[in-house]
Amino acid sequence: MSFRKNFVGASIAAALLALLPASPALAGVVVAASGPSAKTYPVGRKIGPTDKIVLQAGDTLTVLDEKGTRVLRGAGSYTLATQTGADKSNTFALLTRQRSAQRMRTGAVRDSNTGPVTRPNLWYVDVRQAGPMCLADPTEVRLWRPATAGEQLYAIGVGPSQVASRASFGDGDMLTVWDLSQAPITDGAKYVIAGGDGKPNEITFRVLDPVPEDAEALAATLIEMGCNAQLDVLSSAMIASEE
């Protein structure tokens, strides 16, 4: 009797599951567009995997989906489902990994490339860039510079002449810790970073709560928050190479 009840129960559960609609594939999001069709496919537009994308001569459309960043160029009809590429989930996981500042050596990231250097983690604060900066965790903040040679001192203030804190990079270091005890960060907080022989840059912090767990949702959030520099880092790192 017990076996019969379990069997009937399992059969009913299976039948109910079969009636549920299948989970739709995640949509891609436009992260860059240029050319005649840019108005049709503005940054932030969602595109389903089987949606037809019609481009004209001179068009370039960059779409970020679950497979990575897709760059479509020139006249033609495209769908994301037919654009093959290597899985970029590991790249996304590394780029968005959150690690404790106390467990992070400031010299752990080295400039070993001969080409342009970009921050290896989306949540590092680039000392060169102004504008909105999205954070996953405002209690673990690190400044990043794109070089390792020489010592550099930066002033962090609430205005051009109101210094709240200082941050020092040692020779060989690309990372240093932001002193939250002197310059606390909340959603909407604004700070000016000056030093390193560069112009002062004002940053407005946006704290993400919750933090999107997939690339296309995070891209859409970065667009909504105006964190365009981080969007560029994300889309560049997620470029899908052909399989």
Domain range annotation of the chain: 24-96+228-243, 99-210
Instruction: Give the model's pLDDT for residue 10.
Output: 43
Average pLDDT of span 178-190: 95
Q: What confidence category does residue 161 fall into, taking pLDDT thresholds of 50, 70 and 90?
A: low
| Tokens encoding 176 | 């240093």
| Tokens encoding 230 | 């981080």
- Calculate ∠ Cα 113-91-169, nearest 5°: 45
> Is residue 14 over pLDDT 70?
no
Q: Under CATH, which number does the domain 99-210 receive? A: 2.60.40
- Greater confidence (16 vs 215) lies with 215
8 A C-beta contact, residue 238 and residue 62:
no
8 A C-beta contact, residue 70 and residue 228:
no
pLDDT digit string, tens, across residues 18-41: 443 333 456 899 999 999 999 999
Q: What confidence category does residue 136 fall into, taking pLDDT thresholds of 50, 70 and 90?
A: very high
pTM: 0.81
